[in-house]
């Protein structure tokens, strides 16, 4: 009788999971105080304002190749996370100097829940068209291609968790540690798909991936603790337009230097302490007191 009851209970649980009544997302991780994710806008110490957009691109290119070389020398593999937007443009002009793309796993900092082959809206399709296929990088962690944000977030996290630590290391709290995480910042301060004044930015000890319903279709994003725990996180901003003659200068000042802003109001400020910030002069024009740096200093800043 007990065996029959247990069997029925298992059937009931399975049916509930199948219909979405029971969450299959990983439970929150209890962090020690020394490793807890920071939601404080700590001082930014690794800020480099370079003269030109081409210098910013050169610095990012060198950092990517250097991080790849170090990771492959250490454990034979390189784990890279990228966003969409301007970072894709930067990477599109990178020509690998050795075969590191064949030893790389590529994941996405954020991605819309769309058909991954749709060049008009899918970061993966855009990245493949601009550089991934040309590089010969084949180990890409793809979304499923549906418009279901929660389903895509759950499945994407499962794919990342399935990677061995030789491909994607973990820290003592069990969070992934990408060798390099390139992050873009929006005018409103969003990073990945973590937008201001929304619950997603408050995730500090839970899942690796969250769904985001700020826009339609929804998207998925690495959570803040994953961005903060990368071996190296780089935020770059370069270029300008007639509409934005100083690029993202105001956003960069708020993200890097404003003493009153909070990560809830301006999520990028949560990466002040973690990221290396590399800007060209227009994008750094509201922080002239910092002076100009050099490509060499930006590349060497750990």
CA distance 181 to 81: 5
pLDDT higher than threshold 50 for residue 49: yes
Walk across the sheet containing 139-140 and list its strands: 47-50, 275-280, 233-237, 180-183, 78-82, 104-108, 139-140
pLDDT tens digits, one per residue of 139-169: 999 999 999 999 999 999 999 999 999 999 9
Q: Is residue 187 within 8 Å of residue 248, measured between CB atoms?
A: yes
CA distance 302 to 284: 20
User: The whole model's pTM is what?
Assistant: 0.87
pLDDT tens digits, one per residue of 51-109: 999 999 999 999 999 999 999 999 999 999 999 999 999 999 999 999 999 999 999 99
pLDDT at 190: 97
What is the rounded (10 degree) CA torsion for 254, 248, 132, 166?
A: -10
Question: Helix, strand, or coil here: 108?
Answer: strand
Output the CA torsion sign for 300, 90, 278, 207. negative
Cα–Cα nearest to 252, from 232, 278, 273, 274: 278
Asked if the bond preceding 135 is cis, omega within 30° of 0, the reply is: no
pLDDT higher than threshold 80 for residue 36: no
Residue 7 vs residue 296, higher pLDDT = 296
In the chain, pLDDT over 90 holds for what percent of residues? 81
pLDDT tens digits, one per residue of 187-243: 999 999 999 999 999 998 889 999 999 889 999 999 999 999 999 999 999 998 776
CA distance 209 to 65: 26
Give the pair of three-digit tokens for residue 170: 């973990």
Mean pLDDT of the chain: 89
Walk across the sheet containing 219-222 and list its strands: 110-112, 219-222, 209-212
How many C-beta atoms surround the C-beta of residue 174 within 10 A?
Answer: 11
pLDDT higher than threshold 60 for residue 30: no
Residue 141 vs residue 37, higher pLDDT = 141
pLDDT tens digits, one per residue of 272-281: 999 999 999 9
Cα–Cα nearest to 41, from 186, 184, 196: 196
pLDDT at 113: 98
pLDDT tens digits, one per residue of 262-271: 999 999 999 9
pLDDT higher than threshold 50 for residue 26: no
pLDDT at 9: 36
């Amino acid at each position: 009788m007990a065996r029959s009851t247990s069997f029925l209970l298992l059937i009931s649980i399975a049916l509930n999971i199948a219909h979405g009544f029971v969450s299959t997302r990983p439970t929150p991780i209890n962090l020690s105080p020394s490793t807890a994710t920071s939601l404080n806008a700590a001082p930014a110490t690794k800020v480099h304002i370079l003269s030109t957009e081409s210098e910013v691109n050169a610095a990012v290119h060198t950092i990517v190749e250097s991080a790849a070389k170090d990771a492959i020398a250490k454990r034979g593999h390189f784990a890279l996370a990228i966003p969409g937007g301007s970072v894709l443009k930067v990477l599109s002009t990178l020509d690998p100097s050795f075969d590191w793309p064949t030893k790389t796993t590529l994941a996405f900092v954020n991605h819309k829940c769309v058909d991954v082959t749709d060049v008009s809206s899918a970061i993966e399709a855009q990245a493949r068209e601009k550089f991934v296929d040309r590089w010969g990088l084949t180990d890409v962690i793809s979304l499923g291609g549906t418009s279901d944000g929660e389903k895509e977030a759950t499945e994407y996290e499962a794919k990342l968790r399935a990677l061995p630590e030789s491909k994607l290391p973990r820290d003592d709290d069990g969070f992934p540690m990408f060798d390099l995480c390139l992050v873009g910042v929006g005018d409103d301060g969003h990073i990945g798909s973590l937008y201001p004044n929304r619950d997603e930015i408050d995730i500090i000890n839970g899942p690796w991936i969250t769904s985001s319903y700020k826009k339609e279709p929804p998207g998925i994003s690495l959570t803040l603790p994953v961005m903060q725990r990368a071996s190296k996180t780089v935020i770059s901003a370069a270029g300008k337009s007639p509409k934005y003659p100083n690029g993202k200068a105001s956003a960069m000042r708020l993200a890097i230097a404003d003493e009153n802003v909070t990560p809830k109001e301006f999520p990028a400020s949560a990466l002040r302490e973690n990221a290396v910030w590399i800007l060209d002069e227009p994008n750094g024009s509201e922080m002239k007191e910092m002076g100009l740096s050099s490509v060499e200093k930006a590349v060497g800043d750990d």
